[in-house]
Chain A
Amino acid sequence: LPTSKVTEYDVDGGKEDLFEVNQAAGLELFEGDILYDEKQGRNS
């Protein structure tokens, strides 16, 4: 392909799974992707 004109855009940007997405976003969620309600949840 004449790469000067036709490109490819990687929507993942190198991130493989949702836990990597969350870590890259700086999230520190319970078990990686769980919202935790102290009032209703259990003590971790």
Chain B
Amino acid sequence: IIGDEYLWPTTVPYYLEDDLDINAKGVIMKAFEQYRLKTCIDYKPWSGEENYISVFQGNGCYSYVGNRHVGKQSLSIGAGCDQTATIEHEFLHALGFWHEQSRADRDDYVTIMWDRIQGGMEHNFNKYDDTTSSSLNVPYDYDSMMHYSKNAFSKGTEPTIVTKIPAFSDIIGQSLEFSDSDLLKLNRLYNCTRATTFLDTCDFELENICGMIQGQGDKADWEHVTKATGGPDTDYSNMGRCTGTGYFMHFSTISGTEGDTALLESRLLYPNRNYQCLQFFYYHSGNPNDKLEIWVREYNEINPSGTLRMIETITGPPEPLWQLHHVNLDVSTKFRVVFKGTKGAGSSTGGLSLDDINLSETACPEHVWRIKNFKSIMENTPRGTAIHSPRFQSKYGYTFQMSLYPSGTTTYPEYLGAFARLTSGDDMIDSNLTWPCPWMQITMMLMDQNADIRKRMSNQRSITTDPNVKLPGSTMYFWDNPRKVGAQVTDVDGTKYFRGSGYGTYGYLTQARALSRDFIKGGDAIFLLSMEDISNMLLSQPLPSTTVPNTTLPTTTLPTTTLPTTTVPTTTVPTTTVRTIPTHDLCASVKCENDGVCVIDNGVKAACRCAVGNDWWYHGDRCQFKSSNQDGVVMAVVSSVVVFAVMVVVMVVVTVVSVECLKNKYKKKMNDMGAGITTRNVHA
């Protein structure tokens, strides 16, 4: 939308209303992280700014377009909207974006089939001329997450939007993640020069190797190659698809002596947060005793030349495979990442290789489920049959797994289905955990394996273990101990364990989409899985004046929850602590109305700061009165009329009085003269 007035500051204040679903709150945080990784748009909890986005659970997913300067601007994330792509879509609206197919030039790229649109829904296919909407010199984008799907508002089964290039017919509307063009437009609109949490990416395609340097004091160097003796035969970025490209870094351990090291150091990096995730692909074709270590070289005033600190040793035997690794860093000063290869004892026929390095200030995914020959599995798994990931143990002790329908189900034959389940783990650990499992968010991400993390359009879905949900038609809890509510199954190695019920979707991703982009690379698909405790989302977001951590909290009873298919009676939810205001707080006795917030004035007096908008404001000691610019105009007009009327009356009175006085004066004078006046022509 054209107009600077519609822009937000690049750090957008938000307030998550209490009525939001807990899973939705967690997904909103994930969507914010994507913005931070790929754009300069950041989000911060509302701290009293004049305008902010209030995210609430309405009856659907919707937003205004652009900053409307109304103070509290609503954005709804209702039931069924708790997907990262949906939330990113709504926030793109709020940041000032219309739908892609409403561009002024859309008729050059798609044909709107007006006769197939549901009656009365034609308004959904508006377009805006280039005085209202700018495409910011970015070509029409079929991949945009702001594009309708081909059957949008169709009254039948035939598409309402036909792409002029048929290959894009099934691409439009498949909101996965920001497309390259979405990001280009957003970054242009907000004059972004750098993303908030992105630090570096390198696929080693250029000879400058992204500014990396060979370390000092080592015995050997990493080489910039397209293939290496002993493997790999290709890089990971291009998998050898393009002649003359496809470089990676290789440290050969064929020659040399035991203990020889080779350091590859990144360029200087400047962190904003004190945690980072290093992700890279690693190919080990050397001796099992060869090893790769991740170090950081940290710089500060005491050590201007930098101090090395070891982070992690990458272990594991040689394997003819590019393996995905994640390493958590915790750096807070200027630093370099150092890849240290060491030749171990024994002979080697290969070495260590690195490719597709990404460094960002984000949390690393915890678990990787790599499915080899995924296309073959999609083609050969019977429809309606699930495959299961290994069991993964989270840092909280709970064990979980993902179930996948590679060929879809009878109802959704064109999709992949994805479900998360709790499983039994170590008996001793499980017995010490809280059941039903409370408020753990499990995220299942099919990784787009593009070399650059910013260009990935990965598909992710999250579900949260609500401890109050019951199994359909049962009095038992859905997320209770799988030993109690699960079924015993046998693992491929013969181990028996219990598997709980699945929570997820049969419409995770279309199979056609799974075959596109880089979801499958070298034949393999990679799912990134994590479990995070989001029970903190049960707490209300602090209001600007009442941010009081570590205070005494009262207990509150939450509403009960049951699945729609369940008919069992509802039960009371375990009590939950929520934020409150301490009794000594001066604001405790002050109630500000109409979204006003209480502040402590000069540390001694509670006062209400009232909500204001573009042309209205609340006032009064409790913000109980509302005024607007229109009120002012009316007041001004009324005042003018009254003043004018009073002046007219005053003037009339003065005139009348003056005339009367003069009349009386001359009358008296004539009476004093005793006769009338004889007039004559004095000039004749």
Contacts and interface: CB of A to CB of B under 8 A. Distances in A.
B126 A31 contact: yes
B70 to A, nearest CB: 8
B90 interface: yes
B80 A6 contact: no
Interface string A13-28: 1111111011011110
| Main secondary structure on B side of the interface with A | loop
B406 interface: no
Nearest to B102: A31
B439 interface: no
Interface string B130-153: 001000000000000000110011
B492 to A, nearest CB: 15
B56 to A, nearest CB: 12
Given A9-B503, A18-B86, A44-B123, A27 B59 contact: yes
Contacts of A21: 60-61, 78-81, 86
Contacts of B61: 18, 21-22, 33
Given A6-B502, A30-B123, A31-B124, A25 B59 contact: yes
Contact of B62 (A1, A24, A26, A35): A35
Contacts of B78: 21, 25
A35 B89 contact: no
A8 B506 CA distance: 9
B129 to A, nearest CB: 11
Nearest to A16: B507
Contact of B60 (A8, A22, A36): A22
A30 B149 CA distance: 16
B502 A14 contact: no
A2 B501 CA distance: 11
Contacts of A31: 98-99, 102, 123-124, 126
A12 B173 CA distance: 17
B62 A27 contact: yes
B563 interface: yes
Interface in B55-75: 59-65, 68, 70, 74
Contacts of B79: 21
A13 B569 CA distance: 22
Contacts of A42: 128, 132
A19 B121 CA distance: 12
A34 B463 contact: no
Contacts of A40: 68
Contact of A35 (B64, B98, B419, B503): B64
A37 B507 contact: no
A9 B63 CA distance: 29
Contacts of A36: 64
Given A1-B499, A9-B478, A13-B80, A33 B126 contact: no
A17 B504 contact: no
A9 B411 CA distance: 14
B487 A15 contact: no
Contacts of B86: 17-18, 21
A40 B487 CA distance: 58
Interface string B486-511: 11010000000001111111110000
Contact of A18 (B81, B123, B489): B81
B151 to A, nearest CB: 9
Contact of A8 (B98, B132, B501): B501
Contact of B65 (A5, A22, A34): A34
B152 A19 contact: yes
A2 B68 contact: no
Contact of B148 (A13, A19, A26): A19
Interface of B: 59-65, 68, 70, 74, 78-81, 86, 89-90, 93, 98-99, 102, 123-124, 126, 128, 132, 148-149, 152-153, 173, 175, 386, 403, 411, 419, 463, 471-472, 478, 485-487, 489, 499-507, 563-565
Given A9-B503, A11-B503, A27-B59, 11 more contacts: A9-B563, A10-B504, A11-B463, A11-B505, A18-B80, A26-B59, A30-B123, A30-B124, A31-B123, A33-B90, A34-B63
13 contacts: A1-B499, A7-B471, A9-B565, A11-B80, A12-B506, A18-B60, A22-B61, A31-B102, A31-B123, A34-B64, A35-B64, A35-B74, A40-B68
